[in-house]
Structure 1
Amino acid sequence: MSGIALVRKPGPHIADGLVTYVQREPVDPGLAARQHDAYVAALAGAGWRPVYAEPADDLPDAPFVEDTVVVSGRLAVLTRPGAKERRPEVASVASVVRMLGLRVVRISGSGTLDGGDVLQVGSTVYAGRSARTNDEAISQLAALLPERRVVPVDLEGVLHLKSAVTALPDGTLIGHAAHVKLPHLLEPAEEAGAHVVTLGGDHVLMAASAPRTAAALEERGLSVTMVDISEFEKLEGCVTCLSVLI
């Protein structure tokens, strides 16, 4: 068993989720639910035990659980989402991480942080300055993680840092230079190719919308599992933001 995958089922109002950098498209809640089940099944198939946060049917963006908590070892940093509408999502996630025995702290005051702006690579934590995450929260995060090196990163034209860049199992950063300025970026063939979830060993999870990138990563020796998350992509979601791996 690799660990625990914190997830939350999408509700009937998911089509009302926030969009910022994309045009709104119709979202099929039934299809979204089936895609989410397949996503969770892929995590379980890789050895991650799914643990569900309580349903939050009145909060359309609630399945994007990554934005509510940042986990470093046995420490859970509860976020203060930049969109006020999303802040009620945090309480039920807090209950889960406490139940799992993690030590819980939180971003407070005027700090705003979305977990999708936090990319952990070894001892380094990249924190995106975005419309949802501010410098005050990044400073708080650095103070809460004294054993890690927290590096602020500016973004261009994307919602979150992990919309632009993630990391392969060997620590290689994969992302789009048009959105983020980081050294030695591996440029993916598709927009969604920047979104990789490391599942353990050389196994990664990617969206079905990035087949050319998946093929290139397989040529690098990685094992790639692909899932269709089209309904979440319409809401600027990606494979990283639908779970928190603990």
Structure 2
Amino acid sequence: MPTTSRIALVRRPSPRVAEGLVENSERVPVDAALALEQWHAYVRTLVAEGWETVEVPASDAHPDGVFVEDTVVMFRGVAVVTRPARPSRRGEEEATARVLADLGCATAAVRAPGTLEGGDVLKVGDTVYVGRSARTDASGVAQLRAVLAPLGATVVAVPVTRVLHLKTAVTALPDGTAIGYEPFVDEPRLFDRFLPVPEPHGAAVVDLGGGRLLLSAAAPRTADLLADLGWTPVPVDIGEFEKLEGCVTCLSVRVRELVAR
């Protein structure tokens, strides 16, 4: 039987974080020292909200390694280890897989030539939306469906052509409402309930539990909107990572269930 947990995997940024990939926006300078400060503040926020943080060993060779979410998809205690699309990111997933094994987690893996990145996977109850993006291909979607369908998931592929990953554009509130910045979303009607937010950085939230939502400090109007709807926003400054097309979901993997192997 699954056991409940509140574990968040995190990964310290590489000193080469400023060299991270930027494909959908104009590159601007990244301050690696400030990025490290912001990462520490992000981790402290998770701890203050009752999450046990587990560090995936950092890798100086992977400038994008801090975006640990891309390396695994968690569903009902099962970890699907991904296969990043870009050669510079290959190998990031290996350290994540070892940490999950140490936690006793049941695992599966996406195999070549398929590619899948966790930033393209949005879970809303039993429905798993997967962005068909420049980083996740049809084989990756099919392999994820093959693993998750026996666990009770309905995997729905959605087009992503305007941003890096699906969760750059859309995430979900604890009640299942999808929220997103409409100019970034290819087809809002694919989601059962869709709430537009007023700022690009407001599209991403992390459900911390108890109605509390982690979101970017760069989205104050979205925070006000969510507060008006009865949620409690928990802002965090991740500006250096946003320069690299990152968001609050990218910097951790929430493990809410563990299924022993």
Q: TM-score, normalised by structure 1?
A: 0.98
Alignment partner for residue 162 of structure 1, among 146, 150, 167? 167
Note the 1:7-86 alignment, pairs <5 A.
7-86=10-89
Taking every aligned residue pair, what percent have the same amino acid on both sides? 51
Residue 77 of structure 1 aligns to a residue whose secondary structure is: strand
Residues 2 and 47 of structure 1 are in contact (CA less than 8 Å); yes or no, is this contact kept in structure 2? Answer: no
Corresponding residue number in structure 1 for 2:225: 216
CA distance in 1, matches of 2:159, 2:232: 31
Alignment partner for residue 136 of structure 1, among 139, 162, 172? 139
Task: Quote how far apart the aligned CAs of 1:156 are.
Answer: 2.6
Instruction: Provide the alpha-carbon RMSD of the alignment.
Output: 1.1
Letter in 2 for 1:99: D
Task: Quote how far apart the aligned CAs of 1:180 are.
Answer: 2.7
- Provide Cα deviations, 1:69-103, integer angstroms capped at 9, x if missing partner: 00112211000011121011011111100011111
CA distance in 2, matches of 1:6, 1:200: 16
Alignment partner for residue 194 of structure 1, among 203, 209, 228? 203
CA distance in 1, matches of 2:213, 2:222: 12
Task: Quote how far apart the aligned CAs of 1:110 are.
Answer: 1.5
CA distance in 2, matches of 1:201, 1:151: 28
Residue 84 of structure 2 aligns to a residue whose secondary structure is: coil
Residue 42 of structure 1 aligns to a residue whose secondary structure is: helix
- Provide Cα deviations, 1:3-41, integer angstroms capped at 9, x if missing partner: 100000111100000000111111111100010001011
Note the 1:65-144 alignment, pairs <5 A.
65-144=68-147
Letter in 2 for 1:94: A
CA distance in 1, matches of 2:103, 2:23: 33
Residues 169 and 201 of structure 1 are in contact (CA less than 8 Å); yes or no, is this contact kept in structure 2? Answer: no
CA distance in 1, matches of 2:7, 2:232: 20
Residue 108 of structure 2 aligns to a residue whose secondary structure is: strand
Corresponding residue number in structure 2 for 1:242: 251
Residue 206 of structure 1 aligns to a residue whose secondary structure is: strand
Q: Unpaired segments of 5 or more residues in structure 1?
A: none
Task: Quote how far apart the aligned CAs of 1:2 are.
Answer: 5.6
Task: Quote how far apart the aligned CAs of 1:149 are.
Answer: 0.2
Residue 194 of structure 2 aligns to a residue whose secondary structure is: coil
Residues 162 and 186 of structure 2 are in contact (CA less than 8 Å); yes or no, is this contact kept in structure 1? Answer: no
Q: Unpaired segments of 5 or more residues in structure 2?
A: 256-261
CA distance in 2, matches of 1:47, 1:2: 11
Task: Quote how far apart the aligned CAs of 1:201 are.
Answer: 2.1
- Provide Cα deviations, 1:145-191, integer angstroms capped at 9, x if missing partner: 01100000001310000000000111100013332313332111100
Residue 249 of structure 2 aligns to a residue whose secondary structure is: helix
CA distance in 2, matches of 1:84, 1:124: 30
Q: TM-score, normalised by structure 2?
A: 0.92
Q: Which of 1 and 2 has higher RCO (CA within 8 Å, sep 6+)? A: 2
